[in-house]
Amino acid sequence: KNAKLNKVQDFRKIEDNKGIEKSQAQGYDVYMQGYLAVKKIISMKGQDSLQNILIDTKTMSFYDSFNKNMGVTVEKFQKLLE
């Protein structure tokens, strides 16, 4: 069975516990969203892409690192989960 989200929360709104809790209260399944995002990253760019995103955050923002390693912005990537 393929997991599917009823609705996708803006990743920038779930950067911290407060945002996660607020989003959950609004009915977003943020943990499933995160799980599906990781699966999608791996299917698009391979297992090493996760490590490369994290390594590059030493010298740039997460969002810049994501864009560099994935070739798309977080916002465009998020649309792939919808």
* Distance of alpha carbon 2 from alpha carbon 53, whole angstroms: 26
Q: What pLDDT does 3 receive?
A: 72
pLDDT in the model for residue 2: 61
Instruction: Note the pLDDT tens digit of each residue in 14-53.
Output: 999 999 999 999 999 999 999 999 999 999 999 999 999 9
* Pick from 77, 59, 58, 79: nearest CA to 67: 77
Tell whether the model's pLDDT for residue 1 goes beyond 70. no
Q: Which residue has the tokens 């994290």?
A: 54
- Please give the Cα distance from 61 to 29 (Å, whole number): 25
Quote the DSSP letter at residue 72: S
Q: Is the pTM higher than 0.95?
A: no
- What number is the average pLDDT over the span 44-64? 97
Phi-psi group of 50: left, alpha or beta (phi > 0 → left; psi -120 to 50 → alpha; rest → beta) = alpha
Q: Which of 20, 66, 14, 9 is nearest to 41 (CA)?
A: 66
pLDDT band per the 50, 70, 90 thresholds, residue 4: confident
